[in-house]
Structure 1
Amino acid sequence: MSLRPLIISVLLAAANAFSPAVGNSVAASRSLSSSSSSSSSALSMVAVDTSEIKNGLTIEIDGDPYKIMSFSIMKQARGAAKTTIKMKNLKRGNTIENTYRSGEKFETAEITRKPSQYTYEDEAGNYMFMDIESFEEVMVEQKMIEDQKKWISEGMQCDLIYFKGDVIEVRAPSPYVFEVVETEPNVKGNTSQGYTKPAVLSCGATISVPGFVEQGQMVKVDTEKGEYIERV
C-alpha cells in the first residue's frame, strides 16, 4: 500500500497549523515554474464574434465549456464568409465541428485558474493536486488530464481550470524545460538543414528535436503544441 496519501495528509495538517501569511510564503516557495503566477485568477464572461476567436479560447455553448482546438475561414464569392470551428467539450470530453456565419457571437466561459502542485496518482488512476494557496487536496479524474498527463511529473506546478466550481482542465506549464533522456547520436558531418529525430524527455513524452540535440541536454518545450523550442 502506498504511503504517499498518508504523507500528504500529514503535510497538509502541518501546513494548516500556520497562519495564512506563512502559508502563502510556503506556497510561493514550492512553485516550480517561473512562467506561472502563484495566485489564482478568474476570467469573466465576455461576448466575442468569429473575427475574435483563437485557438485555446474557452467559450460557453448551451451551458457547457468548449475549448477551441482549431478553426478555418472560408470566403465566398457571394455572401459573408463562414468560419468552421473544431472544439472540445471540456465537461464531456467529446469533440465537435460547427460552421458559423461571419460576425456570429459567442460568450466566453467564466473560468477560474488556480495554481496547484501535482502530488501523486492514486490507485484508481486519479491525479491528486494541492492548491498552493489553500493547501487543500484536489482530486482530478484521469479523463480530465488525458491530454496533458504526458507532460506532468510529481512536484510540478500546473494550473487547474474551474468552471462553475468543477475542474474541467489541467494545464501543464508552458514553456517548460526537460532533459533529453534518450535520442540517437548526432551523425558527424550531417549538415542537413531541417533534419530532426525523435527524443524521449524526462517526463516520458516523445518529441521531434533538431539533429544536433544530444542525450543528457536540456531543451525548452511548448507543452501546448508538443513542440521543441530551443536547446538550453
Structure 2
Amino acid sequence: MINVNDLRPGVTFQMEGNIYVVLEASHSKQGRGQANVKAKVKDLRTGSTTIKSFTGGEKVERAMIDKVGMDYLYNSGEAIVLMDQETFEQIEIPLNHVEWEINFLREGQKVIVRKFEQEILDIELPTNVVLKVVSAPDAVKGNTAQAAQKKVVVETNYEVETPLFIKEGEEIVVSTETGKYVGRA
C-alpha cells in the first residue's frame, strides 16, 4: 500500500478496479484540518486523465507495472504489431489503444510496452522522435508579421507546424507529448 502523501509523478496505483499513473500531485494543508492531496492521474486502460482528491493519510494499492522493450514492426490496419527484443515474440495492440502514439511510430522504432500482470496497457514513446518531412509547401514571401509557421506532413501522415525554412526530405524532431516541432534533426 502507498500513502497518498507519497504520490509523485510516475507512481502507479490501483483504485476501484482501475490502474492509474500519477502525472502531477499537489499537497495542501489548511489550518488544523488534515492535508489534502490532489493528483492528476491517467487511467492506463482507457488513456483518460482525471483529477483524484484524497485526504492525507489515505492509502492506495500499488500497481506493479512491467516495462518490456519492443520494436514496432508495422500497422496491420486494425492493430499495431510489436516484437519483443529478447524472445522475438510478436504482440498486437488495437489501434484504438494507441491513437495518439501512432502519429510518431515508424518501422523499427524501439518502444516500451507497459504490462499489468499479463494485460497490455499501453506503449511509452521517447519524449522526442525524429521524423522525415514528406510534404512541405513553399514559404509565401511577405508572410512574416509574426514568427511565421507552415504546416508540413511527416512520414507517419501527422501534420506539424514548423518554421518556414523546413523543406521536404528534411528530418525534424517532434515532441511525442505535445505533437509540436522541437527542432531540426
Please indicate, yes or no, whether the TM-score normalized by the shorter chain is above 0.5.
yes
Say whether residues 1:91 and 2:45 are aligned partners.
Answer: yes
In the other structure, the counterpart of 1:164 is 117
Q: Matched residues in 2 for 1:206 and 1:52: separation?
A: 36
Structure 2 residue 74 is matched with structure 1 residue 120: yes
> Paired residue for 2:165?
212
Q: What is the 5 A alignment of 1:52-63?
A: 52-54=7-9, 57-63=11-17
Judging changes above 3 Å, is the alpha-carbon distance between structure 1 residues 75 and 222 closer, same or farther for their aligned structure 2 residues?
farther
Taking structure 1 as reference, are residues 194 and 77 closer, same or farther at Cα in structure 2, changes over 3 Å only? farther
CA deviations 1:123-173 (Å, max 9, x no partner) are 6x1222110111111122233222311211332221111111211011233
**Cα RMSD after superposing both structures:** 3.3
Amino acid at match of 2:173: K
Structure 1 runs not aligned, ≥5 long: 1-45
Counterpart check, 1:66 vs 2:20 = yes
User: Aligned in 2, Cα 1:219/1:92: closer, same or farther, shift over 3 Å?
Assistant: closer
Aligned twin of 1:130: 83
Give the secondary-structure state (helix, strand or coil) at the position aligned to 1:170. Answer: strand
1:194-219 C-alpha deviation (Å, 9 max, x unpaired): 43332221111122223333332211
Q: Which residue of 1 is the match for residue 138 of structure 2?
A: 185
Q: Percent identity?
A: 29
> Take 1:114 and 1:64, find their aligned partners in 2: how far apart are those partners?
21
Question: Residues 136 and 148 from structure 1, CA distance in 2 versus in 1: closer, same or farther, beyond 3 angstroms?
Answer: same
Deviations 1:100-131 (A, max 9, x none): 345755455311111111223346x1222110
Change (3 A) 1:50 1:187: farther
What secondary structure is seen at the aligned counterpart in 2 of 1:133?
coil
**What's the secondary structure of 1:155's corresponding residue?**
coil
- Cα distance in 1 for partners of 2:12, 2:37 equals 16
Q: Give, as a single letter, the amino acid of the residue that structure 2 aligns with 1:89.
A: D
Aligned residues: 185
1:153 alignment partner, SS class:
coil
SS at match of 2:102: coil
Cα distance in 2 between the residues matched to 1:103 and 1:225: 34
Find 1:153's aligned residue among 106, 110, 119.
Answer: 106
Shift in Å at residue 51 of structure 1?
6.7
Deviation at 1:58, TM superposition (A): 3.2
Give the 3 Å change call, closer, same or farther, for CA 101–133 of structure 1 in structure 2: same
Q: Closer, same or farther in 2 for the Cα pair 1:205/1:71, shift >3 Å? A: farther
> Distance in 2 between the 1:110 and 1:85 partners?
19
Secondary structure, counterpart of 2:103 in structure 1 = coil
Matched, 1:175 2:105: no
Which structure's residues are more often helix, by fraction?
Answer: 1
